[in-house]
């Protein structure tokens, strides 16, 4: 019964991954296709010994940690507000989720124009996207505005599963608001927290469109996804671009395994 679905999944996921892995082992440039040859692990050696890879990895980690951390704090606050509010709950949930309905490309352009020097209503005369850390701030702000509602929605799904009797019992035992939050709410919504952080971390680690639209990878904001794009599309270096894609896939897999193991350990 599951064979057709399994075959379809293999066709759309496993086959492209294996094809990319095979291309990463070749010296293959579309500007000189006749010189295509097997190169073994040379592409990986060139990438991992280059300064660009480690700079882009650092930029990706900084953007991921900063944006996901802010989204978690703001998302938890929004989830608590949506869970506790008694009047206008549906309206509040609808308003909060509006940014998530906006396309990432649209939000990236909106923030780019908002911070445009002399034109945008935020930027003033300062070139926010022309300096490293201000450009980081704009990119992170865009990601936080766009995806905090997703984090809030995931955490809200965990909050609604906490039985009210548990809070009543904690109150009877003399637990204050902070103790109820730390000892009741936190442990009860831990599975939702892990899932929300895992999804957003994997998504943020592959950030591309916001960086592409706002900075084109300039002023030290190039991420690993953008590096793969640059090799494959701009430089036509299929072998090197495929190797970067494989390394990015390995990083994402390691993050996923780390989250799952941490969750199992705490369970």
Q: What is the mean pLDDT of the chain?
A: 88
pLDDT in tens, 205-219: 999 999 999 999 889
Closest CA to 145 of 92, 93, 106, 192: 106
Which pLDDT score is estimated for 160? Answer: 86
Superfamily of domain 58-265: MetI-like (1.10.3720.10)
* pLDDT above 70 for 266: no
* pLDDT above 90 for 22: yes
* pLDDT above 90 for 53: yes
pLDDT bin (cut points 50, 70, 90) of residue 24 is very high
pLDDT in tens, 58-74: 999 999 999 999 999 99
Residue 154: CA count within 13 A, CB half-sphere: 21
pLDDT bin (cut points 50, 70, 90) of residue 128 is confident
* pLDDT above 80 for 43: yes
Q: Give exposure, 198-233, as e/b (b: 16+ Cβ within 10 Å).
A: bbbbbbbbbbbbbbbbbbebebbbbbbbbbbbbbbe
Give the whole-angstrom CA distance, residue 82 versus residue 97. 11
| Residues 6 or more apart whose Cβ sits within 8 Å of residue 222 | 52, 55, 56, 59, 211, 230
Residue 161: CA count within 13 A, CB half-sphere: 13
pLDDT in tens, 83-126: 887 777 778 778 888 888 889 999 999 999 999 887 778 867 88
> Does residue 197 contact residue 206 with C-beta atoms inside 8 Å?
no
Sole residue written with tokens 């990986």: 44
Which pLDDT score is estimated for 46? Answer: 93
* pLDDT above 80 for 36: yes
Q: Among 34-38, 195-199, 212-216, 263-267, whose mean pLDDT is lowest?
A: 263-267
Which pLDDT score is estimated for 265? Answer: 63
DSSP classification of residue 181: I
Q: Give the DSSP H/E element, type plus range, for residue 51.
A: helix 51-84
* pLDDT above 70 for 267: no
Which pLDDT score is estimated for 123? Answer: 63
Give the whole-angstrom CA distance, residue 115 versus residue 142. 11
pLDDT in tens, 183-205: 888 888 888 898 899 999 999 99
Q: Supply the pTM of this predicted model.
A: 0.87
Report the chain's C-alpha Rg in angstroms: 22
Average pLDDT (167-172) is 81
Instruction: For the chain, give every domain's residue range.
Output: 58-265
| Residues 6 or more apart whose Cβ sits within 8 Å of residue 158 | 79, 188, 189, 190, 191, 192, 193
Q: Which two tokens stand for residue 67?
A: 């944006």
């Amino acid at each position: 019964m599951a064979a057709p679905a399994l075959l379809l999944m293999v066709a759309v996921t496993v086959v492209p991954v294996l094809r990319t892995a095979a291309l990463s082992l070749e010296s293959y440039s579309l500007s000189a296709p006749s010189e295509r040859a097997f190169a073994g692990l040379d592409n990986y050696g060139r990438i991992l010994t280059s300064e660009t890879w480690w700079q882009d990895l650092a930029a990706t980690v900084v953007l991921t940690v900063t944006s996901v951390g802010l989204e978690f704090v703001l998302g938890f606050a929004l989830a608590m507000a949506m869970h506790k509010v008694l009047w206008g709950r549906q309206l509040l949930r609808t308003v909060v989720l509006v940014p998530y309905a906006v396309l990432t490309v649209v939000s990236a352009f909106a923030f780019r124009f908002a911070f445009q020097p002399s034109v945008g209503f935020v930027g003033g005369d300062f070139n926010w996207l022309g300096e490293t850390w201000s450009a980081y701030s704009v990119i992170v702000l865009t990601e936080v505005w766009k995806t905090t509602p997703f984090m809030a929605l995931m955490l809200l799904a965990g909050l609604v599963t906490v039985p009210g009797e548990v809070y009543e019992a904690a109150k009877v035992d003399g637990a204050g608001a902070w103790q109820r939050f730390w000892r009741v709410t936190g442990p009860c919504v831990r599975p939702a927290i892990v899932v929300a952080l895992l999804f957003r971390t994997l998504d943020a680690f592959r950030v591309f469109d916001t960086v592409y639209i706002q900075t084109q990878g300039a002023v030290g904001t190039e991420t690993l996804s953008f590096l793969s794009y640059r090799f494959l599309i701009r430089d036509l270096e299929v072998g090197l671009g495929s190797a970067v894609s494989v390394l990015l896939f390995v990083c994402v897999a390691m993050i996923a395994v780390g989250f799952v193991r941490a969750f199992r350990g705490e369970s």
